[in-house]
Chain A
Amino acid sequence: QVPLVESGGGVVQPGRSLRLSCAASGFIFSHYGMQWVRQAPGKGLEWVAVISNDGSTKYYADSVKGRFTVSRDNSRNTVFLEMNSLRAEDTAVYYCVKEGNRGDYNSYFDYWGQGTLVTVSS
């Protein structure tokens, strides 16, 4: 088992910020890239962001580029998603996911967290 536990979701007004956290266990965290995927209510999956195992490489979806920042703390086995300038269209369940291939951020996702709901509404 590879528990990934997200936290930090909630209701936030448009234009405000929110920080999601994902605590990992059951594997050597510093060996694997981590990614974020979101799912708007009743919709499909959308890839959001990736961070390499050492934190040196990051990529973002165009829809969040410049507003979201992914980071990680390997000493705490935790990955973060800082979300600024939130919009109604950012409303979604946000999943933290682990990459299947060690040290390769171009990888499939072998474990998913349970997700945390972010609702952007006034």
Chain B
Amino acid sequence: VIWVTQSPSLLSASTGDRVTISCRMSQDINNYLAWYQQKPGKAPELLIYAASTLQSGVPSRFSGSGSGTDFTLTISFLQSEDFATYYCQHYYNFPHTFGQGTQLEIK
């Protein structure tokens, strides 16, 4: 089992800020990493896959980086609709473990 450590669990920021969320894997997963956004009462939505590839329709203020064991999601110039919970997930092997989630709240 590959363990996923996501940080921080809670992030307070203001519109216009730049924020980063990190995920660390317990072993090398190459770039088999995805990021999802979930708003209250809704299903998660794919933001980024293969660590840095933006899903179609996702705004370019979202970006992903990293390879191996350490990965980052960056949101530049936060918009009001970005306040949500974010999850990373590896898909290198089974189980496809998710991170614990980062709740991004308005400061």
| Chain A residues close to B by CB (< 8 Å) | 35, 44-47, 50, 59, 61-62, 95, 100, 106-115
Contact = CB atoms under 8 A, between A and B. Distances in A.
A62 B97 CA distance: 12
A52 B89 CA distance: 19
B94 A59 contact: yes
Contacts of B101: 44-45
Which has the most chain B C-beta neighbours within 10 Å: A44, A61, A115? A44
B98 A44 contact: yes
A39 B10 CA distance: 18
Nearest to B93: A106
Nearest to B98: A45
Contacts of B99: 44
Interface string B33-60: 0101010000111100110000100000
Contacts of B49: 100, 108, 110
Contacts of A61: 95
Contacts of A108: 34, 46, 49-50, 89, 91
Nearest to A107: B91
Contacts of A45: 36, 38, 44, 87, 89, 98, 101
5 contacts: A35-B96, A44-B87, A50-B94, A106-B92, A112-B43
